[in-house]
């Protein structure tokens, strides 16, 4: 899949799915602007991407929910790299609790990072893409945003919002040769799921037709396709990478 020398911003790139996406794009020879709040693991991702074959890789400390930071960082990336071809909105958090017990702060922070952050990054990046008349936007949704999940009212709502935002973005920007698609991961083996008990993991795997948790690399492959030249006629789509869990 062709991403060679394309300039890509990947948010939440310090670890987990974000790191896997960055490494997949690096192996394709992309030029990477990697963003996260976590400085040390982000620096490690940059080093790994350089070793994996990235044409260029730089780190940017960024809170995607901060409008001023987002605007400044996206403009800086476009200036330093001389282009902006791909945006991967991967940054996301959870603050799980049952609906009746959920604190308003837990609702707000999840919606701010997962949904508002995706909106802010998309708005800032699209301005550069519109001028270039080309771009790829790939958003990370979740199967929780497709079917809901007990204990995740905030997360499910934020990811359902990402799906709606993706489709609207696709419709608004198609005339400028900019595509927008989303990948909805299922039960993926990351730091986020590592804290779950073995009993919970086994119950989850029993509900997955392929009978295993996904790997970050599984998600990264789908993202890389949407970001590639080969996906130029695909827009407004959501693909679940979930082992068949919500089919």
Question: Which residues are known catalytic residues?
Answer: 155
Is 114:156 a contact under the CB 8 Å cutoff?
Answer: no
Name the H helices within the chain: 16-27, 39-52, 67-81, 104-111, 117-132, 144-147, 153-173, 191-194, 198-206, 216-227
Cα 20 to Cα 238: distance, rounded to the nearest angstrom: 19
Is 46:58 a contact under the CB 8 Å cutoff?
Answer: yes
Q: Are strands 178-185 and 238-241 parallel, antiparallel or unpaired?
A: parallel
What separation in angstroms does the CA of 143 have from each of 31, 81, 152?
Answer: 30, 34, 11
Q: How many CB atoms lie within 10 A of CB 126?
A: 21
């Amino acid at each position: 899949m062709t991403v060679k020398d394309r300039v890509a911003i990947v948010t939440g790139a310090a670890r987990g799915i974000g790191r896997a996406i960055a490494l997949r794009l690096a192996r394709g020879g992309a030029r990477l602007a990697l963003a996260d709040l976590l400085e040390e693991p982000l620096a490690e991702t940059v080093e790994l991407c350089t070793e994996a074959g990235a044409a260029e890789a730089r780190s940017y400390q960024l809170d995607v929910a901060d409008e001023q930071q987002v605007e400044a960082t996206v403009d800086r990336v476009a200036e330093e790299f001389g282009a902006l071809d791909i945006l991967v909105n991967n940054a996301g958090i959870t603050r799980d609790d049952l609906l009746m017990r959920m604190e308003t702060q837990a609702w707000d922070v999840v919606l701010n990072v997962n949904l508002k952050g995706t909106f802010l990054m998309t708005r800032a990046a699209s301005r550069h893409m519109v001028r270039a008349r080309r771009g790829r936007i790939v958003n990370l949704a979740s199967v929780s945003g497709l079917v809901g999940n007990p204990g995740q009212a905030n997360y499910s709502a934020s990811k359902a919002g990402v799906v709606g935002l993706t489709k609207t973005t696709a419709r608004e920007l198609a005339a400028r040769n900019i595509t927008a698609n989303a990948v909805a991961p299922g039960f993926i083996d990351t730091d986020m799921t590592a804290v779950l008990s073995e009993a919970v993991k086994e119950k989850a795997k029993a509900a997955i037709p392929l009978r295993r948790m996904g790997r970050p690399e599984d998600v990264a492959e789908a993202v890389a396709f949407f970001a590639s030249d080969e996906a130029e006629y695909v827009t407004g789509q959501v693909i679940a990478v979930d082992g068949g869990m919500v089919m």
